[in-house]
Amino acid sequence: MKAMVLAAPGRPLVFEQRPDPLPGAGEIRVRVEACGVCRTDLHVVDGELPDINLPIVPGHEIVGIVEALGSGVSSLAPGQRVGIPWLGHTCGVCDYCRRGQENLCDAPLFTGYTRDGGFATAAIADARYAFPLGEAGDDISLAPLLCAGLIGWRSLVMAGQAETLGLYGFGAAAHIIAQVARWQGRAVYAFTRAGDTESQEFARSLGAVWAGGSDDKPPVRLDAAIIFAPAGALVPAALRAVRKGGRVVCAGIHMSDIPSFPYRWLWEERQILSVANLTRQDGIDFLRIAPQAKIVTETTRYPLEFANDALADLRAGRFDGAAVLVP
């Protein structure tokens, strides 16, 4: 197999040729057909997350074909198309797992972070954490659903019954969730970097009723806001945009420090929440809804060997939507 490998934080990924891995008990090996590039991959590469299992193959938006089964796997069959998300394994016995909060498991594995991911031609996955994807949709278009879509979906659920919804940072996740929110009949207000008229236009093309800079005041009070950009300064900005009792949901795994702000911006029962990881039920729910909402993902395709370029272009905001690596 071929893989793009991170040996140390801050270094470019290096191309490696490796023997095909063998799936252990309860595992599958997939032939990777496409793997999305997520902002979390940047946080891994930059060493902004703790305890990265180095060397690591990043990538946790995998669309692949099952090609080998480990012992005891009966839920999947060779030839089946599956999606492999960020949540790669949970212990099943800790307090969180037992409470139905497996996204908070004390002993999890995460694809492309603590177990090798999909910036490769093959990947090993726990069969219980691979979602059958069926026949509809092409591999490249589906890949961004597996994190940008899924974490975005969990964030949207956390936002509650918001009729007016702000999305801060209009990248891969927001461009999917804007479509879902519109399909649900909500009004989407998109916030981008000040002056980024291209992203604002992109947001309007996906149904946002308003788009502006992150410091702009939206024309209405928002019921809720989701922050996808990793900038802590957006937390007080979003608090000022939501109504009394409104929610601000932080969707990212990493954010720069949140600056201090007057308590009165939080007062009147405004809430700040964070979203961590996903549960398998989130995946089942979202993958059922995605075709109903007729989500169309905007993707930019890169050959696997150009993973470093995809990461650099994501960092610089050089494309709309999502980057996808194709072996």
Residues pairing with 188 in the sheet? 165
Residue 81's H or E segment, with its range, is strand 81-84
Residue number, 66 or 148, with CB nearest to Zn ion: 148
CB of 148 to Zn ion, least distance (A): 7
Cα separation, 74 vs 86, in Å, equals 22
Residue number, 141 or 271, with CB nearest to Zn ion: 141
Residue number, 73 or 84, with CB nearest to Zn ion: 84
CB of 63 to Zn ion, least distance (A): 14
CB of 151 to Zn ion, least distance (A): 6
CA distances from 138 to 61, 220, 303 (A): 14, 38, 16
Q: How many CB atoms lie within 10 A of CB 182?
A: 17
Residues whose CB is less than 8 angstroms from the CB of residue 74 and which lie 6 or more positions away in sequence, other chains included: none
Task: Please measure the distance between the N-terminal and C-terminal CA atoms of the chain and give it in whole angstroms.
Answer: 10
Q: Which is it for strands 222-227 and 210-213: parallel, antiparallel or unpaired?
A: unpaired
CB of 237 to Zn ion, least distance (A): 23
Rg, Å, the chain Cα set:
19
Residue number, 42 or 272, with CB nearest to Zn ion: 42
Residue number, 1 or 91, with CB nearest to Zn ion: 91
List contacts with Zn ion (CB under 5 A): 38, 40, 90-91, 94, 97, 105, 147
CB of 250 to Zn ion, least distance (A): 14
Cα separation, 4 vs 59, in Å, equals 10
